[in-house]
Structure 1
């Protein structure tokens, strides 16, 4: 073994499970202790855990360690279903190693399909996740967050130093490198702050008043259809009232073949909400990235953003139309 390889081996964490004989052609990656203790690396794990716990709060699932809690596919199963708004046909409880790996494989196949990642570029696998590979787990969770909740504030430019160990014909080969977990921050990459970011952060006590004003506006527009909204989060989650509201304000009705009037599954709800957001984008009303999954999952801030865009356009328009000629601006 070359002196450089020996030096790199000495830097490996003491708890690392070093193979006595690494099969030829097999490669294993180890995180350096300095990277594990990096504040930005620790912050990334904290943000992702808080995000997962918030998403799965109603299911009474709590993640305390990404390294220890994600490997068997159980939490990934619930998280992906929640994010994608779909039902996976996999066993709910998997107790044996074989059944856990089988479940994890099914969940990852569904996630990879949704993420539209090419096989050669995937930085996680059934084997690495099941072996509690923290680096692979973080790559997967960051990809899911970027796909389903682009406004999640992940720490930027998180890098880790790793040592790659590979068994070759000439012996054990090691290489030190830097792996990028999150993107570098640029003004173009940053999700713009909007009025609701400020509202929830600086004046959370006023959120109820804003919700009440928007619900009043919605009910005024929907009374002709005999519909009434009492709960802003739950009643817009399936997209039905949202589509009817957009049609009512725009002076048109969508053909019943274009959406599900009585959605019976998360997938049908997701279809409705996605269609609604596309209609709003076509009208140039959405200036903030909104994930349809967040609406389906009853995210208050996302639901308010959508309804506020309609409120601003049509409330202002109504006020302008009522203004007498010659009135000052």
Structure 2
């Protein structure tokens, strides 16, 4: 009696699974090759960005209107990366008590929400703005309020000169890296941030302009920082011994603070006042006005000043008075 040999069936089964394995292997190899090619295409696309043919229909530009974007290659510049990392660290340090973490200056700052928090913290003020909104119109409205406070009341820039600023509502909201970096650098310098900004940072900007039915493109090098001395002069700040200290020996800052507190208390004790925290107790100008009166020998009437300046206007009035070094008597009444 003939017996059926099971070996061929087993061989067929093995052959079938072998084929499945081969097909799977080929599919994975194909996927890997496609992924590698996609990466190569992306790199070539980025490196040849300036040679791309730009379709005018894709841009809603008026005649002669310009639009700009930062060349992606600038983001890979080591100085630009260093500047962004330093600014991110500074912002996160300032907003740590509010549990706010900023990871990307373009994606996290464009809508004005975090900019508002940062400016409020630095200037110790409260900006009256609408609640969080997801609409573009609402975001731009909020951003405009924040920038108006910054430009007009803090930086005190003449509105007639706003066109000369390196930032605007549209440029910040469109996530223009050059505009955002300019704004953050100006804030850091104005409020004497305890950081050292790298010198001579620049980005390449691609500018697109509509001329008839065509779009013309050109590259412009935009300077973000130059030397520390030049940057200080731009916002009316002359570098002094404290800037040198922050640049070269920031670890000694606490020792300097203790020395200043001892000096201040030596005089304020005459009016039964004591200072333990320079930042918190000197931020509104009250203690500083009293100290100046004691040092210069003029009488300060407590009825003439707000013992705790709460509004932005009150703090500005104190600042204006304190900047006038030739003032010999106090007159803060309207």
Greater relative contact order (Cα < 8 A, sep 6+): 1
Aligned positions of 1:40-189 closer than 5 A: 40-114=79-153, 115=155, 116=157, 118-149=161-192, 153-184=196-227
Unmatched tracts of structure 2, length 5 or more? 1-44, 329-334
The alpha-carbon distance between structure 1 residues 255 and 22, as it changes in their structure 2 partners (threshold 3 A), is same
The alpha-carbon distance between structure 1 residues 104 and 161, as it changes in their structure 2 partners (threshold 3 A), is same
Q: Residue by residue, what CA displacement relative to the aligned partner does 1:75-126 show, whole Å, maximum 9, x if unpaired?
A: 1112222334433221242243332222112212222324416233233332
Aligned positions of 1:295-310 closer than 5 A: none
Q: Residue by residue, what CA displacement relative to the aligned partner does 1:25-69 show, whole Å, maximum 9, x if unpaired?
A: 343223223322111111221222223223323322221110110
SS in 1 for 2:261: helix
Unmatched tracts of structure 1, length 5 or more? 1-7, 284-329
- More helix, by proportion: 2
Higher mean displacement: 164-173 or 26-35: 26-35
Of 309, 321, 326, the residue aligned with 1:275 is 321
Contact map agreement 2:229 2:239 (CA 8 A) in 1: no
SS in 2 for 1:161: strand
The alpha-carbon distance between structure 1 residues 179 and 264, as it changes in their structure 2 partners (threshold 3 A), is closer
Pairing 1:242–2:242 present: no
How far 1:70 moved relative to its partner? Answer: 0.5
Q: What is the TM-score when the length of structure 2 is the normalising length?
A: 0.67
Contact map agreement 1:85 1:267 (CA 8 A) in 2: no
Contact map agreement 1:219 1:229 (CA 8 A) in 2: yes
Contact map agreement 1:43 1:155 (CA 8 A) in 2: yes
Q: Corresponding residue for 2:268?
A: 222
Pairing 1:204–2:243 present: no
Contact map agreement 2:91 2:102 (CA 8 A) in 1: yes
Higher mean displacement: 155-164 or 217-226: 217-226
Q: Calculate the aligned-residue CA RMSD, in Å.
A: 3.7
Contact map agreement 1:22 1:166 (CA 8 A) in 2: no
Contact map agreement 2:47 2:73 (CA 8 A) in 1: no
Q: Corresponding residue for 2:12?
A: none
How many residue pairs are counted as aligned between the two chains?
273
Contact map agreement 2:67 2:208 (CA 8 A) in 1: yes
